[in-house]
Amino acid sequence: MTKLSVNINKVATLRNARGGNNPDVLRVAQDCERFGADGITVHPRPDERHIRRADVRQLRPLLTTEFNIEGNPISEFISLVLDVRPTQVTLVPDGHDQITSNHGWDTRTHLNFLTDVTHRFREAGIRVSIFVGADPEMVEYAARAGADRVELYTEPYAAAYAADREAAIAPFVRAAEAARVLGLGLNAGHDLSLQNLAYYRQRIPWTDEVSIGHALICDALYLGLEETIRRYKACLMP
Protein backbone atom coordinates (compact mmCIF):
# COMPACT_ATOMS: atom_id res chain seq x y z
CA MET A 1 0.00 0.00 0.00
CA THR A 2 1.20 3.50 -0.79
CA LYS A 3 2.07 5.41 2.37
CA LEU A 4 0.71 8.84 3.25
CA SER A 5 3.17 11.36 4.66
CA VAL A 6 1.46 14.51 5.93
CA ASN A 7 3.33 17.75 5.30
CA ILE A 8 2.68 20.03 8.30
CA ASN A 9 4.23 23.23 6.90
CA LYS A 10 0.83 24.93 6.62
CA VAL A 11 0.16 24.27 10.30
CA ALA A 12 3.38 26.09 11.13
CA THR A 13 2.40 28.93 8.77
CA LEU A 14 -0.81 29.43 10.74
CA ARG A 15 1.07 29.40 14.03
CA ASN A 16 3.66 31.87 12.83
CA ALA A 17 1.03 34.29 11.53
CA ARG A 18 -0.06 35.11 15.08
CA GLY A 19 2.96 34.21 17.19
CA GLY A 20 2.79 31.97 20.21
CA ASN A 21 2.17 28.27 19.90
CA ASN A 22 -1.37 27.93 18.56
CA PRO A 23 -1.75 25.60 16.75
CA ASP A 24 0.88 23.42 18.39
CA VAL A 25 2.90 21.96 15.52
CA LEU A 26 4.30 19.13 17.61
CA ARG A 27 0.87 18.06 18.81
CA VAL A 28 -0.59 18.22 15.31
CA ALA A 29 2.20 15.98 14.02
CA GLN A 30 1.51 13.43 16.73
CA ASP A 31 -2.23 13.63 16.08
CA CYS A 32 -1.63 13.00 12.37
CA GLU A 33 0.20 9.82 13.32
CA ARG A 34 -2.58 8.84 15.72
CA PHE A 35 -5.17 9.39 12.98
CA GLY A 36 -3.33 7.04 10.61
CA ALA A 37 -0.63 9.00 8.78
CA ASP A 38 2.33 6.82 7.84
CA GLY A 39 4.82 9.65 8.10
CA ILE A 40 5.39 13.34 8.71
CA THR A 41 7.04 15.68 6.21
CA VAL A 42 8.54 19.10 6.89
CA HIS A 43 10.22 21.53 4.52
CA PRO A 44 12.29 24.04 6.49
CA ARG A 45 13.34 27.08 4.47
CA PRO A 46 16.16 29.48 5.35
CA ASP A 47 13.79 32.28 6.40
CA GLU A 48 11.81 29.90 8.67
CA ARG A 49 8.54 31.32 7.40
CA HIS A 50 6.76 28.11 8.36
CA ILE A 51 8.64 25.15 9.85
CA ARG A 52 11.54 26.30 11.99
CA ARG A 53 14.79 24.47 12.57
CA ALA A 54 13.83 24.17 16.24
CA ASP A 55 10.60 22.42 15.20
CA VAL A 56 12.57 19.88 13.20
CA ARG A 57 14.78 19.04 16.16
CA GLN A 58 11.86 18.84 18.58
CA LEU A 59 9.83 16.60 16.27
CA ARG A 60 12.48 13.92 15.84
CA PRO A 61 12.19 12.20 19.24
CA LEU A 62 8.38 12.49 19.30
CA LEU A 63 7.55 10.80 16.01
CA THR A 64 6.90 7.08 15.74
CA THR A 65 6.40 6.93 11.95
CA GLU A 66 8.73 7.91 9.13
CA PHE A 67 10.15 11.43 9.26
CA ASN A 68 10.88 13.10 5.91
CA ILE A 69 12.76 16.40 5.70
CA GLU A 70 12.59 18.23 2.35
CA GLY A 71 14.75 21.08 1.22
CA ASN A 72 17.49 22.58 -0.87
CA PRO A 73 20.77 21.01 0.26
CA ILE A 74 22.60 24.21 1.14
CA SER A 75 25.12 23.91 3.95
CA GLU A 76 22.78 24.75 6.84
CA PHE A 77 20.18 22.28 5.56
CA ILE A 78 22.77 19.54 5.25
CA SER A 79 23.95 20.19 8.80
CA LEU A 80 20.38 20.10 10.14
CA VAL A 81 19.58 16.81 8.43
CA LEU A 82 22.81 15.15 9.54
CA ASP A 83 22.12 16.29 13.09
CA VAL A 84 18.48 15.14 13.18
CA ARG A 85 18.90 11.99 11.05
CA PRO A 86 15.37 11.50 9.74
CA THR A 87 14.18 8.39 7.95
CA GLN A 88 14.36 10.20 4.62
CA VAL A 89 15.69 13.40 3.12
CA THR A 90 14.15 14.75 -0.08
CA LEU A 91 16.42 17.02 -2.10
CA VAL A 92 14.46 19.90 -3.67
CA PRO A 93 15.98 22.69 -5.83
CA ASP A 94 14.26 25.59 -4.06
CA GLY A 95 15.31 29.17 -4.48
CA HIS A 96 15.30 31.38 -1.37
CA ASP A 97 12.36 33.43 -2.60
CA GLN A 98 10.11 30.63 -3.83
CA ILE A 99 6.63 30.48 -2.34
CA THR A 100 6.54 26.74 -2.94
CA SER A 101 8.47 24.15 -4.91
CA ASN A 102 7.75 24.57 -8.61
CA HIS A 103 10.20 22.34 -10.47
CA GLY A 104 12.40 19.30 -10.08
CA TRP A 105 16.15 18.96 -10.38
CA ASP A 106 18.00 18.91 -13.66
CA THR A 107 19.80 15.83 -12.40
CA ARG A 108 22.03 15.59 -15.44
CA THR A 109 23.42 19.12 -15.07
CA HIS A 110 23.79 18.80 -11.29
CA LEU A 111 24.92 15.17 -11.24
CA ASN A 112 28.23 15.73 -9.45
CA PHE A 113 26.69 17.94 -6.77
CA LEU A 114 23.78 15.56 -6.16
CA THR A 115 26.13 12.58 -6.06
CA ASP A 116 28.25 14.20 -3.35
CA VAL A 117 25.24 15.23 -1.24
CA THR A 118 23.53 11.88 -1.64
CA HIS A 119 26.68 10.06 -0.56
CA ARG A 120 26.92 12.14 2.63
CA PHE A 121 23.34 11.41 3.63
CA ARG A 122 23.46 7.72 2.76
CA GLU A 123 26.67 7.34 4.77
CA ALA A 124 24.67 8.63 7.75
CA GLY A 125 22.00 5.98 7.17
CA ILE A 126 19.41 8.38 5.74
CA ARG A 127 17.31 7.33 2.76
CA VAL A 128 17.67 9.85 -0.09
CA SER A 129 14.91 10.89 -2.49
CA ILE A 130 15.51 13.39 -5.30
CA PHE A 131 12.66 15.64 -6.48
CA VAL A 132 12.30 15.45 -10.27
CA GLY A 133 9.85 16.22 -13.03
CA ALA A 134 8.12 13.48 -15.02
CA ASP A 135 11.10 12.93 -17.29
CA PRO A 136 12.73 9.47 -17.59
CA GLU A 137 16.13 11.10 -18.23
CA MET A 138 15.95 13.02 -14.95
CA VAL A 139 14.99 9.78 -13.21
CA GLU A 140 17.95 8.01 -14.79
CA TYR A 141 20.44 10.62 -13.60
CA ALA A 142 18.93 10.56 -10.10
CA ALA A 143 19.77 6.86 -10.06
CA ARG A 144 23.30 7.66 -11.25
CA ALA A 145 23.62 10.10 -8.35
CA GLY A 146 22.98 7.22 -5.96
CA ALA A 147 19.47 8.12 -4.83
CA ASP A 148 17.29 5.50 -3.17
CA ARG A 149 14.10 7.07 -4.54
CA VAL A 150 12.78 9.84 -6.72
CA GLU A 151 9.81 12.03 -5.86
CA LEU A 152 7.81 13.01 -8.92
CA TYR A 153 6.69 16.66 -8.98
CA THR A 154 2.97 16.22 -9.59
CA GLU A 155 1.70 19.81 -10.01
CA PRO A 156 1.46 19.42 -13.82
CA TYR A 157 -0.64 16.29 -13.33
CA ALA A 158 -2.95 18.07 -10.90
CA ALA A 159 -3.31 21.10 -13.17
CA ALA A 160 -4.27 19.02 -16.21
CA TYR A 161 -6.34 16.37 -14.42
CA ALA A 162 -9.79 17.94 -14.83
CA ALA A 163 -9.43 18.48 -18.57
CA ASP A 164 -7.99 15.07 -19.48
CA ARG A 165 -6.80 12.79 -16.72
CA GLU A 166 -5.35 10.20 -19.08
CA ALA A 167 -3.18 12.76 -20.85
CA ALA A 168 -2.24 14.23 -17.48
CA ILE A 169 -1.03 10.95 -16.03
CA ALA A 170 0.76 9.63 -19.14
CA PRO A 171 4.19 11.27 -18.59
CA PHE A 172 4.13 10.25 -14.94
CA VAL A 173 3.51 6.64 -15.85
CA ARG A 174 6.52 6.75 -18.16
CA ALA A 175 8.74 8.31 -15.49
CA ALA A 176 7.46 5.88 -12.85
CA GLU A 177 8.17 2.92 -15.13
CA ALA A 178 11.71 4.22 -15.66
CA ALA A 179 12.19 4.39 -11.90
CA ARG A 180 10.96 0.83 -11.50
CA VAL A 181 13.30 -0.48 -14.20
CA LEU A 182 16.22 1.31 -12.52
CA GLY A 183 15.37 -0.16 -9.12
CA LEU A 184 14.48 3.20 -7.57
CA GLY A 185 11.76 3.66 -4.98
CA LEU A 186 9.01 6.05 -6.00
CA ASN A 187 7.42 8.97 -4.17
CA ALA A 188 5.09 11.69 -5.42
CA GLY A 189 3.98 15.09 -4.22
CA HIS A 190 2.64 18.55 -4.95
CA ASP A 191 -1.02 19.45 -5.43
CA LEU A 192 -2.26 15.90 -4.96
CA SER A 193 -5.77 16.05 -3.52
CA LEU A 194 -8.93 14.08 -2.80
CA GLN A 195 -9.98 14.81 -6.38
CA ASN A 196 -6.94 13.40 -8.19
CA LEU A 197 -5.10 11.10 -5.77
CA ALA A 198 -7.05 7.87 -6.25
CA TYR A 199 -6.57 7.90 -10.01
CA TYR A 200 -2.85 8.61 -9.61
CA ARG A 201 -2.51 5.63 -7.27
CA GLN A 202 -4.63 3.47 -9.58
CA ARG A 203 -2.38 4.15 -12.57
CA ILE A 204 0.92 3.99 -10.66
CA PRO A 205 0.23 1.45 -7.90
CA TRP A 206 3.92 0.88 -7.17
CA THR A 207 4.21 4.38 -5.68
CA ASP A 208 5.84 3.98 -2.26
CA GLU A 209 4.75 7.27 -0.70
CA VAL A 210 2.86 10.47 -1.35
CA SER A 211 3.62 13.63 0.58
CA ILE A 212 0.61 15.94 0.89
CA GLY A 213 0.25 19.17 2.83
CA HIS A 214 -1.62 22.13 1.39
CA ALA A 215 -4.71 20.35 0.05
CA LEU A 216 -4.93 18.07 3.07
CA ILE A 217 -4.84 20.94 5.57
CA CYS A 218 -7.40 22.88 3.51
CA ASP A 219 -9.72 19.87 3.52
CA ALA A 220 -9.25 19.51 7.26
CA LEU A 221 -10.80 22.95 7.79
CA TYR A 222 -14.11 21.46 6.64
CA LEU A 223 -13.79 17.76 7.42
CA GLY A 224 -11.60 17.74 10.49
CA LEU A 225 -8.07 16.36 10.56
CA GLU A 226 -8.94 12.79 11.49
CA GLU A 227 -11.62 12.38 8.81
CA THR A 228 -9.41 14.05 6.21
CA ILE A 229 -6.53 11.66 6.85
CA ARG A 230 -8.96 8.74 6.69
CA ARG A 231 -10.20 9.89 3.27
CA TYR A 232 -6.70 10.40 1.87
CA LYS A 233 -5.69 6.97 3.11
CA ALA A 234 -8.78 5.51 1.43
CA CYS A 235 -7.59 7.00 -1.89
CA LEU A 236 -4.40 4.96 -1.53
CA MET A 237 -6.04 1.61 -0.96
CA PRO A 238 -5.44 -1.07 -3.63
Name the residues annotated as catalytic: 43, 70, 190
CB 232 within 8 A of CB 37: no
**109 C-beta neighbours (distance < 10 Å), count:** 11
Integer Cα distance of 54 and 52 in angstroms:
5
Integer Cα distance of 6 and 41 in angstroms:
6
Integer Cα distance of 28 and 44 in angstroms:
17
Give the H or E element holding residue 188. strand 185-189
Backbone dihedral region for residue 125 (phi beyond 0: left; psi -120 to 50: alpha; all else: beta): left
Q: Quick check: helix, strand or coil at residue 153?
A: strand
The amino acid sitting at 120 is R
CB 116 within 8 A of CB 128: no
The CA-based angle 109-113-119, given to 5 degrees, is: 130
Nearest CA-CA partner of 60 in 20, 24, 21, 87: 87
**174 C-beta neighbours (distance < 10 Å), count:** 14
